[in-house]
Amino acid sequence: LKIDLISHGDIPHLTHLQPEGWMPIQPYYEFYTQSHFCNPIKCTVDGKIVGIGCSIVHGDTGWLGHIIVDQGFRQQGIGTAITGTLMDFLMKRRRLKSMLLVSTPMGESLYRNLGFQKESEYVFFKGGITPPAAEGHIKDFSPAYRKVGLELDVYASCEDRRKLLEPHWENACFIEAKGELCGFFMPTLGEGFILATTSHSGLELMRKKHCGGRFGVLPAANQIAIEYLQDHGFAEYRRGIRMVKGQRLQWHPKMIYGRIGGNLG
Ligand SMILES: CC(C)(COP(=O)(O)OP(=O)(O)OC[C@H]1O[C@@H](n2cnc3c(N)ncnc32)[C@H](O)[C@@H]1OP(=O)(O)O)[C@@H](O)C(=O)NCCC(=O)NCCS
């Protein structure tokens, strides 16, 4: 098997790998090829791209994402070879405490065979609509939010994702209580990232996100957010399995009112 880095010129040749029901993969690979903390790879057979995947490094944690094998080439070990290459890259080049990924049911046994263990689940919802957020509560970006917002993210994720979040602060919106930041919503990051320290602020930001009917993916641990979507007509349509190899992170999934994506949790 021939495995190489993906370059910008490969992006138009990934269309046939798009899995049904996933957000379009090409913009993600565009981002991966442009970001120095990402390592996108391809597996080619007779010059055709038959499998892809990417590793993403945040300080001492690493993620594997968008591992996809062409339907006609599955069950031949290509998915395992791509995942193994990405894992080697993370282990050799960086000292990591944990490797993480969100698996589909299809990928779970492959990742188990490579030493990943199930940690928790994400639940996908669609089909409903919420009322809009109350006027006046939600504020636009101001520079002071960047530092404290990042601190909230470090606490919630137990990762240092500053490089990932950096381009999105100015498009984000924020909620304060008693002069303290208690939540933010980044509509341009992945599926629409929402983090909040109180359920009141989390649900307010969810109204901002879902009043137009946008789908949402929540950690299974955030029952308050899940019940809120269910009460507004959303129904579960899929689950993702969060898996880890190495140290389990002391993250806080109850603070997540909208995850970033399958590639980043
Ligand atoms: C998940 C996915 C990447 C797996 O790719 P793949 O190339 O089929 O993976 P592998 O061939 O390495 O392994 C798949 C199975 O085939 C088996 N296999 C590997 N080589 C084989 C061979 N030569 N003959 C028979 N079976 C083989 C593996 O043991 C594994 O079995 P298991 O599922 O019982 O553990 C692929 O199904 C896919 O692209 N799915 C859609 C996207 C997706 O769900 N991605 C995962 C999300 S991160």
Query: For the chain, what is the mean pLDDT?
Result: 96
Q: How many Cβ atoms sit within 10 Å of the Cβ of residue 106?
A: 11
**Measuring CA to CA, how many Å separate 105 from each of 102, 118, 165, 243?**
10, 11, 29, 12
pLDDT at residue 128 greater than cutoff 70: yes
For ligand 1, atom 17: residue with the closest CA: 75
Q: Whose CA is nearest to atom 34 of ligand 1?
A: 109
Q: pLDDT tens-digit profile of 74-105? A: 999 999 999 999 999 998 866 799 999 999 99
pTM: 0.95
| pLDDT range class, residue 130, cuts 50, 70, 90 | very high
pLDDT in the model for residue 94: 60
Ligand 1 pocket, residues with Cβ under 6 angstroms: 19, 67-69, 74-80, 101, 103-104, 106-107, 109-110, 113
